[in-house]
Amino acid sequence: MTKGPLAGVRIVEFGGIGPGPMCAMLLADLGADVIRIDRPEPHGLGTPRPDRFNILKRSRPSVSIDLKQKEGIEAALRLAEQADALIEGFRPGTMERMGLGPEVCFARNRKLVFGRMTGWGQDGPLAMAAGHDINYISLSGVLHSIGRKGQPPTPPLVLTGDFGGGALYLALGVLSAVIEARTSGQGQVVDASMVDGSASLMTDYYGRYAAGLHNDERGTNATDSGAFYFDAYRCADGKYISIAPVEPKFRAELMRKLGLDDRKPSLDEMHNDEAREILRGVFGTRTRAEWCTLLEGSDACFAPVLSLREAPRHPHNVARGTFVEVDGIVQPAPAPRFSRTPTALPTKPDIPGQSTASAMARWGFPQQEIDTLTRAGVLGPRSK
């Protein structure tokens, strides 16, 4: 029995990489019953790693279905018949060519939500072109905006395209359409594009730019390292801290704690680069731990810059259970949190095809049929 606010919601996920699995993980973390269809043969997508470390695939069973066989297509359609939503991340037209397009699925289940995740979108002149996160956020204006003054754009991992503009927007779209379908009785296609989603994430900045409050030159604005009070600084031990006292009252608190409150002229009255150099000198006099002792928990808007090794051990994260350990792997816990329908601890990722028989049975396939399809090579664990 699943736990969480999405308990009872059923979702079919067609295996892929990046934002699709991230979206499915988010929904499974919140209690949805997600079944992942993996290919019967290794497909070589993504960076090779042992299956137990591919934690985007956590908390849901993997079934192996050969979608090159008509019986495999039929099995997938029967899963879709029982689902509230379907998630796929192939190039436009791929599902249609396999015989699993929206119209075919709607004929089996008129309330089905058909979630489609792509970089460029389902249409437009670039729809069929290959690409990855950095390409999509280049087109939306995100990449141009991130980096220091006079330096090339800085790729923000794949957080803004794949995961922020992709997975989160697909999850939002799918859940919105599922809610609507419960009223209308009709499903629909959700066209989630990483260009669209990452552009949406930039909404506030486009508004500021239109108002003349945000420069199009990166590294010259308050929140892109252009302000001395919104930046990371190196400490005496080579580690870093961050400050963000954007509001004057918080900046005054930082200056007081740093012993700069009586300085004339004040840092606010100085050229930004000069003020930054003064703070570099100050923060370089003590270790990160010493600055934490002085500033952490105050209204100076301060935090240590933690590594992936350090973050799970920070007292605040420990107190809140922000990270959990599953199968010996430390990883972020499900988020957000719910007062009445708390989520369960994540389960370790399935090896592709590991739960084929049990998951298909749970989704209503008779054992005799599972055995027959397995002998025919339609169902089964992934080939080595």
Cα(153)–Cα(175) distance, integer angstroms: 34
CA atoms within a 13 Å half-sphere pointing along the CA-CB vector of 376: 16
Whether the CB-CB separation of 268 and 251 falls below 8 Å is answered with yes
CA 117 to each of CA 95, 167, 186, 248: distance values in angstroms, whole numbers, following the listed order: 12, 8, 20, 42
Counts of helices then strands in the chain (DSSP H, E): 15, 11
Which of these is catalytic: 132, 144, 299, 314? 132
Query: How many other CB atoms are there within 10 angstroms of residue 127's CB atom?
Result: 15
Query: Contact, 370 vs 357, CB < 8 A?
Result: yes
CB 9 within 8 A of CB 32: yes
**In angstroms, rounded to a whole number, what is the distance separating the alpha carbons of residues 76 and 136?**
30
Given 33, 38, 66, 162, which residue is catalytic?
162
Euclidean distance between CA atoms 326 and 346, whole angstroms:
7
Active site includes 162? yes
Strand intervals (E) in 89-154: 113-118
Token pair, residue 221, equals: 């604005």
CA angle 361, 367, 373 (to 5 degrees): 95
Phi and psi at 168, nearest 5°, equal: -65, -40
Question: Has 132 been annotated as catalytic?
Answer: yes
Specify the long-range contacts of residues 200-205, CB closer than 8 Å, at least 24 apart: 200/165, 200/169, 201/142, 201/160, 201/164, 201/165, 202/140, 202/141, 202/142, 202/145, 205/141, 205/145
Residue 69 CA to residue 166 CA, distance in Å, equals 30
Return the active site residues: 132, 162
